[in-house]
Amino acid sequence: MIPGPIEFDPAVLREMGKPTTSHLDPWFMEQFGQALERMREVFMSPSGQPFIVAGTGTLAMDMAGANLIEPGDRALVVNTGYFGDRFGALMERYGAQVDHVRAEVGDMPALEQVEAALRSHSYKLVTVTQVDTSTGVLADVKGVAALARQYGALAVVDGVCSVAGEELRMDEWGVDLALTASQKAVGAPPGLALVVAGPRALEAWRKRKTPVCNYYADFGNWLPIMEAYEARKPAYFGTPAVNLVAALNVSLGQILAEGMEARIARHRKLSDACKAGVTALGLRQLPREHCRAHTMTAPYYPEGVDASLVGKIGAAGVIVAGGLHPACRAQYFRIGHMGAHTPADILAVMGALESALAASGYAFEHGAGVAAAQKVFLS
């Protein structure tokens, strides 16, 4: 139960274990083509161009930066944690002049702050991390994207900890590029960078005056490959991760079979139950109440309990993650609940958390966390 890599469905893992075909095999062309089509539905972007490239989520961020930034461009980062810092650093590497709008750790900058920044300079693009995995903050992507559009900037969303778990309506909200990685709510093992670029992002890339300064990440190398696979035609630039793409296609199929609305609602319910459980145990949370992610929960250690709690929860049978944000890493831990989880998983987390808290000498009403979570599921 960490915020990625998540636990994968057995059907997805079985697909990984199948013999690796040629990347030009008609069967594989069908898997790849279908996965691209399904990505459009999962990102809710009928007008978008999907890219599936071997790499991690950071490569997906790199593809956004490399293709959309030219030296001297101004970029604005709506920063809610560690991964906002990363996006800023990455764009600076491509020559952008980057400004950040920040809030206190655990909060998200107000839209008024974002608008004030947009009014003060002409930005080519605005990035926002929908869920910053270091803080568990859920950003207002719809609001940020609307402002970006109003001020003539591209809206770029790091959806690594959100796509297929949080509500993200790319086309409806005017998001120009969204990205994720296979190992999170999308539900396939690590190793794939997933990007959907909308028409305005592709237009900005086409209008570049300078070449893309990253050979592997260049849309120009990958676009013909994606178009070919979608047309079920053979093409080659770099050998696709055959087994991973096929596994991704299985997972995307499962996501769409569940239905996006139902999936988002399930993630909300799991999140509500987890948060009710930790609250009932007297644990405060890092993200403020108005901006809490539904794909993860980030509770503080209670008074008198330190980071050894994570190991004790592990000893009780559930793996959770320690803190990540440099400002408060040792003060909190992170529970991931994205993908194919069920209420039973959250109840298991609560059981293990209670055992670990008891082993740490923390005083609480035994069973309160499990009961509060169960109450949410039974309501």
Q: Between residues 88 and 351, which has the closer beta carbon with respect to ligand PLP?
A: 88
CA dist 53 → 24, 176, 221 (Å): 16, 19, 11
For residue 65, the minimal CB distance to ligand PLP (Å) is 12
Residue of 273, 267, 327, 320 lying closest to 298 (CA atoms):
320
Angle subtended at Cα 359 by Cα 356 and Cα 362, rounded to the nearest 5 degrees:
90
CA dist 132 → 107, 109, 264, 306, 375 (Å): 11, 13, 18, 23, 28
Q: Between residues 128 and 376, which has the closer beta carbon with respect to ligand PLP?
A: 128
* Footprint of ligand PLP (CB under 6 A): 4, 56-58, 83, 129, 132-133, 158, 160-161, 181
For residue 60, the minimal CB distance to ligand PLP (Å) is 8
Residues near 295 by Cβ (< 8 Å), separated by ≥ 6?
3, 131, 161, 162, 165, 166, 184, 185, 267, 271, 336, 337, 338
Q: Between residues 131 and 242, which has the closer beta carbon with respect to ligand PLP?
A: 131
For residue 182, the minimal CB distance to ligand PLP (Å) is 8
For residue 245, the minimal CB distance to ligand PLP (Å) is 16
Q: Between residues 108 and 370, which has the closer beta carbon with respect to ligand PLP?
A: 108
* DSSP element (H, E) containing 321: strand 321-322
For residue 160, the minimal CB distance to ligand PLP (Å) is 3
For residue 123, the minimal CB distance to ligand PLP (Å) is 21
Q: Between residues 193 and 357, which has the closer beta carbon with respect to ligand PLP?
A: 193
Q: Between residues 132 and 345, which has the closer beta carbon with respect to ligand PLP?
A: 132
Give the CB-nearest residue to ligand PLP: 57
